[in-house]
Structure 1
């Protein structure tokens, strides 16, 4: 099955595509809009959860990504981890509630099942500060994944909440940012006879094998399952904590050297490559896909990192090429795996004076990021990380980095005040120079999928907005439109205006300066 049909089947959305002007055959006509905000969706009250889902639905969100954190659900004592009943009932309640409420609103739930786990399921670390993420037990993790899979396979009856059957969840990923020390350690360590070796790929390989078996044994063979969930940046192997660059991490995961040749002998032994063929289990999933987080931090989406081993939005086309080369070399994963960009966003200043960019720039960058993702035919989803800013850590002084150590990448402030990015997310609009002219691109994300829409383009002349080009019909399944505008001039300011069919309602995009 082609990547496009895999994702279409996974979300049951039509794949009609009719772009304006010269259609871009190399672009993706279908893209799932995902949003993550664990604070609002998981670590909150029922009322906050419902309000958040309603807000996301109004913005055009198709699916919500939630972290199903092993250590947050498991008890402190050792248990039979594959049985959902072995876990405290109240630890499941927030997830059960979310799945039910999302289902009633037509929003898919995407569960990122991830380590770290409880203390009893982690090896003893060399020092206490890194104990939380140190070498999770793969078999115990696999049992936890199986428990999650059993609870959300559509056949489980809730122990409370009126003993109602819990709706099925058909969208999962295994692990989160395994190339980051904040999630998995050690990233690298010294191995006798081999020196400093990247070790997180081998750890993740074991966790991935067991996690995959857990999902298969709980009835999710034909559901959408993501692997990877890799972070975009990193360094060469240095120590327990420092993150590994994703290209290096992926090669090492499949026991391949820089030239994509299999490691042998002592190098293979140092990387625990004896189990690499067990990754064949991944091919049993009919909708296997790859998740990646293409953050650029404060750089524009189109600006590349200095390292060719980094994979950000600016060089996201490198990822499908690398995955296909690995598939061809190893035959352990299918070629042409769909790619989902499962975290992306920009922190703003205000409020964060240390890590943020101007709110207007955030709006521009998330639209440019959407455009760059749309241009990639293998990318089938983008994810906005956070609806609302996370409140700062008030136990620290306000003028310190620790005070702002939480994330301020929301479309709204922590008290619900919209940033310019809120409208930019609902009505993306971007202008790019192309072939001596200009491509105008956008999406009416907030409108119902599959419903025809209309957009007007306007240019500012003499301080007044004037219609340019008449109505543009939008009949793409998820609201994309794409138009060549030959008469656009550098330095002009344009905007896109969505209008309801009876012209009684309008929504205006951000203003864009033609490059």
Structure 2
């Protein structure tokens, strides 16, 4: 069933307030980037799958794709075998030529394919790295060797190699020795408050991962500066939303606690805060965060106050500002980007999935919440297409569905209801007698920044609850003047029923409409 009015009320109340003032854009984030992430489709399934996925993303209105540039993948076999070791020793880890040239192809070709479609690639450079780039884990921690204490000096060399390669001036070693296009959106690290990406999280009873991440960020940032990317968009954080109260090596750390320790807030227990005396504050364009949950609505916050999900994402910029004022270790007014958000569905995953309808509803809520916050610069859908299950396990086991089923397309490519909700999000709320409905939405699938006089129009349509008539126009069309396709308006409905937004044009795809939303 669609989201109930009770569930939607807190957010819709904000919309009504915003629409009552003279200039909504001054109080909302109406220039957000629409970002999508799907490494399986874009990096690991071949050129044909990548290109098909990018075309689907472009058609849905994606501006930017977030891509994991995994250190261990780029460095795979870089020092294995006599020839590879000789090449690596000759060039050194900071030179792209030190790594097997085939390891770069997936990234080179993706950047070129993105350029052709007008999509910006956003590279997240992250550990884990190769074995030789990590400290040796104690015997009791050998199970965590892959993520154990990456060496900042080695991480800096890896980042320098990537920065040099994607500077816009580097020629590919194969693929006809073409210039590789420039990458200018970056992030350093992924979920450093999670033991699956970085260990130890806690060490000898003390919080340790913020210190590790601080050293890695400083090292990576200097490497990007060194390779001419100092004025690029560079994100920090990429923090996970939840955590644990346990204090074990792999115990995930809740993001508020992680950020406070990272920035050496009052009462910190971090012995590495002298880094700020040596290098100055953390320089970043935005803080990246992953505000997802498994089952909770985007309006329902986690029970622990140190968690940051979509329901309380507005607390993150406030926290950063407070810590900026207190410590001076990060800039004031730093934007926040939601860089991983999605819900797994049932079908197919009966263990951690929500219904297909609820997924569509919740994704729309996420878009709406981020739009309402002027400090949020973008929102990221994770994924385009469901990932194949782990077939080595029985279908009846949770392990079979350990992969992610949060796509807006099924594994076979069939559109879920969320595909329509993503391309054209829409919200409506009716109140009073007569029934006055406030509406909000976005033509995400349309080109950005259409010239004056050529803007799109949206027609709100009404269908009565008793089914006595089909869809019909309601009120005058809304001219979409926002460069990202956002629109808002007000209509008076004759009775209870459903509203939807409809768009038509002489241009492909010629016509489209949103999912219907009930009003009463």
Task: Tell me whether 1:418 sits opposite 2:421 in the alignment.
Answer: no
Runs (5+) with no aligned partner, structure 2: 1-17, 80-84
* Secondary structure in 1 matching 2:476: strand
In the alignment of these two chains, the number of paired residues is 480
2:317 maps to which residue?
320
Once residues 475 and 112 of structure 1 are traced to their aligned partners in structure 2, the CA distance between those partners, rounded to angstroms, is 33
Compared CA separation, residues 182 and 504, structure 1 to 2 (3 A): closer
Compared CA separation, residues 243 and 448, structure 1 to 2 (3 A): same
Q: CA deviation at 1:378?
A: 0.6
Compared CA separation, residues 435 and 139, structure 1 to 2 (3 A): farther
- Asked if 1 retains the 8 angstrom alpha-carbon contact of 2:384 and 2:408, the reply is yes
Compared CA separation, residues 281 and 82, structure 1 to 2 (3 A): farther
2:277 maps to which residue?
277
Compared CA separation, residues 469 and 433, structure 1 to 2 (3 A): closer
2:108 maps to which residue?
96
Runs (5+) with no aligned partner, structure 1: 1-17, 191-195
Once residues 421 and 328 of structure 1 are traced to their aligned partners in structure 2, the CA distance between those partners, rounded to angstroms, is 40
Q: Pick the aligned partner of 2:488 from 482, 490, 493.
A: 482
Superposed, 1:97-246 pairs within 5 Å as 97-125=109-137, 126-190=140-204, 196-246=205-255
**1:220-257 deviation line (CA, Å, top 9, x unaligned):** 0110000001011112352111211100000000121x
Q: CA deviation at 1:179?
A: 0.5
Once residues 200 and 116 of structure 2 are traced to their aligned partners in structure 1, the CA distance between those partners, rounded to angstroms, is 42
Q: CA deviation at 1:343?
A: 0.6
**1:135-160 deviation line (CA, Å, top 9, x unaligned):** 11111011101111110011111111
1:374 maps to which residue?
371
Q: CA RMSD in A?
A: 2.2
**1:330-359 deviation line (CA, Å, top 9, x unaligned):** 222211111111010110000000010111
1:468 maps to which residue?
474
Worse-superposed segment, 23-32 or 66-75: 23-32
Structure 1: 4+ residue segments shifted above 3 A? 18-23, 276-279, 432-439, 484-489, 501-504
Superposed, 1:278-427 pairs within 5 Å as 278=278, 280=280, 282-283=282-283, 288-427=285-424
Compared CA separation, residues 176 and 155, structure 1 to 2 (3 A): same
- Asked if 2 retains the 8 angstrom alpha-carbon contact of 1:347 and 1:357, the reply is yes
Once residues 197 and 188 of structure 1 are traced to their aligned partners in structure 2, the CA distance between those partners, rounded to angstroms, is 5
2:505 maps to which residue?
500
Higher RCO structure, 1 or 2 (CA under 8 Å, sep 6+): 1
2:12 maps to which residue?
none
1:4 maps to which residue?
none
- Asked if 2 retains the 8 angstrom alpha-carbon contact of 1:113 and 1:173, the reply is yes
Once residues 435 and 327 of structure 1 are traced to their aligned partners in structure 2, the CA distance between those partners, rounded to angstroms, is 44
User: TM (normalized to structure 2)?
Assistant: 0.88
